Amino acid sequence: MPLVTTKEMFQKAYGNYAVGAFNVNNMEIVQGITEAAMEENAPVILQVSAGARKYAKHIYLMKLIEAAVADTGVPIAVHLDHGADFEICKDCIDGGFTSVMIDGSKYSFEENVELTKRVVDYAHERGVVVEAELGKLAGIEDAVVVSEADAAFTDPDQAAEFVHRTGCDSLAIAIGTSHGAYKFKGEPKLRFDILEKVTKVLPNTPIVLHGASTVMPEFVKQCNEYGGQLPGAQGVPEDMLHKAGTMGVCKINIDTDLRLAMTASIRKFFAEHPDKFDPREYLSPARAAIKDMVKHKMRDVLGCSGKA
């Protein structure tokens, strides 16, 4: 099974379930996620940010993902997360990715349309699909902080015009999620009414939810028990993610939960084994924690188990 685009994955998923898009930065993360996908027989999107490319280098991540395809046989799409400009999208398309995100959400509507269309034209000529974003999420990505005051929900009518003018394959919308471990100060709330309006004006356009980690309480607790300091960390409740998956959200982005699973495991290991220093000994349980978490997401939250 070669690398695939998200086209068929999203067609099958639309209105029924969502496919998980997990951020990868090293071998243990790639293995944990793809072994989970294999055991769950689930399609999976591995996504790579600019920060991940800087940390691990494009070629290492690509080779790790190719190895995972050969090792697991599950349909894997490899996606650029939050491409900031045309050049990084071009680099990833030329470098073997099957999907890219052009994130023009920081620009005006007209500039976003123009930039996205340019990427779409380049990508489609090469069989690569494009995710775009309209609306602004609060939170942190690639060390850029968007304050709550600067965040803005997606306007459904603008969304329709945007998709028609750009020809993008999927659209990331802002309905109250945000990146990182601190998503809500009080009760978690998502604007499902906006999602519903978007899918009414854009029937069958796959919708993407960024900032969709649950910030799983057991990992936060474990981090804090073993020396971490994450007071008040809170994410998107799993029932809300499940509901989104039945309403046209086809791709659910998860990074923070991977980071927390890995960190909680390593913190515990070091606290319990202060004498150990072999990375294989603390990275093995960390990889297993990622795998268990991803299996749970696929089976109990996204609903994509058995859909490979």
Q: Determine if 23 is a binding residue for ligand 13P (CB under 6 A).
A: yes
Report the partner that residue 254 touches, choosing among ligand G3H, ligand 13P, Zn ion, none (CB closer than 5 to 8 A by kind).
Answer: ligand 13P
Out of 72, 116, 213, 234, point to the residue binding ligand 13P (CB under 6 A).
213
Among 24, 254, 261, 308, binds ligand 13P (CB under 6 A): 254
Q: Give the whole-angstrom CA distance, residue 228 versus residue 68.
A: 32
What span, in angstroms and rounded, lies between the C-alpha atoms of 219 and 150? 30
* 85 annotated active-site: no
Torsion from C-alpha of 80, 85, 87, 93, nearest 10 degrees: 30
User: Which of 87, 102, 108, 179 has the alpha carbon at shortest distance from 133?
Assistant: 102
Give the residue, chosen from 255, 268, 283, 295, that forms a contact with ligand G3H under the rule CB under 6 A. Answer: 255
Please tell me whether residue 105 binds ligand G3H under the rule CB under 6 A: no
Judged by beta carbon distances under 5 to 8 A according to partner kind, the member of Zn ion, ligand 13P, ligand G3H, none in contact with residue 52 is ligand G3H
Of the candidate spans 92-100, 105-113, 195-203, 206-214, the one that interacts with Zn ion by CB under 5 A turns out to be: 206-214
Given CA atoms 77, 78, 81, 83 in this order, what sign does their dihedral have? negative
Return d(Cα 161, Cα 234) in angstroms, integer.
Answer: 34
CA distance 293 to 24: 15
Closest CA relative to residue 177, chosen from 132, 235, 125, 133: 235
Q: Lay out the site mask for ligand 13P across 48-77 (x = CB under 6 A, - = otherwise).
A: ------------------------------
Residue 112 interacting entry, from ligand G3H, Zn ion, ligand 13P, none, C-beta within 5 to 8 Å by type:
none
Active-site positions? 81
